[in-house]
Amino acid sequence: MKIIPLQFGVFRVSKEKEFTPKSTPLQPGETGYLTMAVCPFLVVLPNQLILIDAGLGTVENGKPTLLRLIEEAGYNPADINMILLSHLHKDHIEGLGYFKEGAFIQNFPQAKIYYQPRELEYGLTQSESHSFSQEVLQAFAHLPNLQPMHYNSGSIGNHIVYEVTGGHSPFHQVFWIKSGNETAFYGADNLPQRAYLKFHIAYKTDYDGKKAMEDRIKWEQQAKENKWTVLLYHDTHSIIHLNDN
């Protein structure tokens, strides 16, 4: 198993969930923002090329940032055959495509997109939430290559195990990818940064902060005992081993 972080960079995130590169000068009166990285992952397995979450929908010189990052990693985006989505907040799904003349153009039309339909149903009701893009969700709901996941836990093929955890969002889900003796764990926004392990805090920005906190405590112990590789979506140090000093 080979894991490649696709780092979009570090951003200032406003209360309205607008992502601005950290290097951009502050605007007059700009306060109250969070700082975080954005980092989907490419996982290479025998006969499989998997994308875990899809990042932002940014475009550079006419090319979607996500496609550039995949190509710079040495892979053809057209070879990705599976996309795993933890939840449907816009910073995790905008990279699936872009709008052109009112139509949504997929970046990965050949890939099966695994998602929680209950998360989509919930997101479509959240028109006042800055975390969801209703325009993107409406387009997403009509994609022909969606693979709904109807259970709270289960497996996809021989290498992937998933569990609906809630926490950050009502139907947020996490993934374990296993190959041989290796296990990579992706806690998505229930465990987005290593700093979340330093203090046992229930974050108010989560739908159920207490549940997310309890899961982090459990996962940290399991990761140490079982030598998991842990993938962190919002951290510049995006791959860690919790048994490291």
Q: What is the pLDDT of residues 222-239, one digit of tens each?
A: 999 999 999 999 999 999
Give per-residue pLDDT as tens, 117-151: 999 999 999 999 999 999 999 999 999 999 999 99
Residue 51 has pLDDT above 80, yes or no: yes
- Asked whether the beta carbons of 9 and 166 are under 8 A apart, the reply is no
Whole-model pTM? Answer: 0.96
| Helix, coil or strand: residue 242 | coil
* Structure tokens belonging to residue 176: 């374990």
Question: Alpha-carbon torsion 167, 204, 34, 29, what sign?
Answer: positive
pLDDT band (50, 70, 90) for residue 242? confident
Average pLDDT, the chain: 95
Q: Alpha-carbon distance 212 to 169, whole Å?
A: 10
Q: Alpha-carbon distance 139 to 124, whole Å?
A: 11
Q: Alpha-carbon distance 97 to 51, whole Å?
A: 14
H helical segments located in 46-152: 65-72, 90-93, 117-123, 134-140
The confidence score (pLDDT) of residue 245 equals 44
Give per-residue pLDDT as tens, 4-23: 999 999 999 999 999 999 98
Using CA atoms, how far residue 91 sits from 11, 180, 198, in Å, is 11, 32, 24
